[in-house]
Amino acid sequence: MRIATWNVNSITARLPRLLAWLESSGTDVLCVQETKCTEEQFPAEQLRELGYESAVNATGRWNGVALISRAGLTDIVRGLPEGPEYEGVTEPRAIAATCGPVRLWSVYVPNGREVGHDHYAYKLRWLEALRKAVADDAAGARPFAVLGDFNVAPTDEDVWDLSRFEGATHVTPAERAALAALREEGLADVMPRPLKYDRPYTYWDYRELGFPKNKGMRIDLVYGNAAFEGAVKDSYVDREERKGKGASDHAPVVVDLDV
C-alpha cells in the first residue's frame, strides 16, 4: 500500500500535475494540504475518473485539507475535536478517515508567523489539540499515522542553515517540544529510508533559487504508530515533483507499507 502526503499550495493551480502524479506514482492514498478552495471547488469528479474517492475539509482561499483514496474512505472526521479557533474562526486544517487497513489524519499545522505573535500561540494550542485528538489511535493496534505539513523542523539537521532561522518560527524549542509530546503518545517519525540525500528536505522557498541551491526544510512529516512503522518497507521524498514550471513549493513524501 502506497501512502503519501503533499502540500500542493492550491489544488486548482496544481491539478494537471496532481492527476499525472497520481497515475504515475501508483499512490493508493494521498493526504493533501493547502487546497486553497471551497469544498464545492474541489476537483472530486476529476479524481473519481481516476478511481479515487475524496474527503475534504475546505472553506475558501486559505488552508484546506483532503484525503484522496482508492482504498476506501470511512469514519471521516473533519477538524480537530476541541480544536482552537483563530480570530473567532475554526480553520480547515485537519481531516481523518479509515482507508482500508489504516487510519490516517491529514494535517496542515498553522505557520505561527512570528515568535510572540498571536498566531504562534495559536499554533502551539493547535498542536496540543492534535496530540489529544490522536492519542487513542496512536496507542491502538491498527496501523495509524498523522501526515502533513507540520510547519516545524524537528531537528537542526532539518533546515539548510540554522543561522538563517535564529529567532524565527519552525525551529523554536516550544514547537519542537510540541512535536515531541505528539511522539510520546506512541508515534515515530518515519524518515525517508534509505537516505538518498544528506538532508531529505520537503520544502524549498520559491525565492532566491531555493530549490536549485537546496535551501530547504523538512517540515512535511509522517508520524506513525508502532503498527504503521513496523509495516513500512520504503519511504522517500519525490524531489522530481518539485522541479519544473508550475510546481508546488513542497514535494510529496511517499511511504510504502506491507499491510
Contacts by 16-20 with C-beta closer than 8 Å and gap 24+? Answer: 16/246, 17/241, 17/246, 17/247, 17/248, 19/46, 19/47, 19/50
Point out the residues that are catalytic: 108, 149, 250
Consult the annotation and say whether 7 binds a ligand: yes
Query: 34 among the known binding-site residues?
Result: yes
Q: Residue 89 is placed in which grid cell? A: 474562526
User: 117 a known binding residue?
Assistant: no
Q: Does 119 show up as a binding residue in the annotation?
A: no
Find the length of the chain. Answer: 259
Is 149 flagged in the annotation as binding? yes
Longest dimension (CA), the chain: 47
Whole-number Å distance between alpha carbons of 82 and 165: 31
8 A C-beta contact, residue 119 and residue 126: no
Question: Could you tell me which residues are annotated as the binding site?
Answer: 7, 34, 149, 151, 249-250
Question: Could you tell me which residues are annotated as the binding site for Mg(2+)?
Answer: 7, 34, 149, 151, 249-250
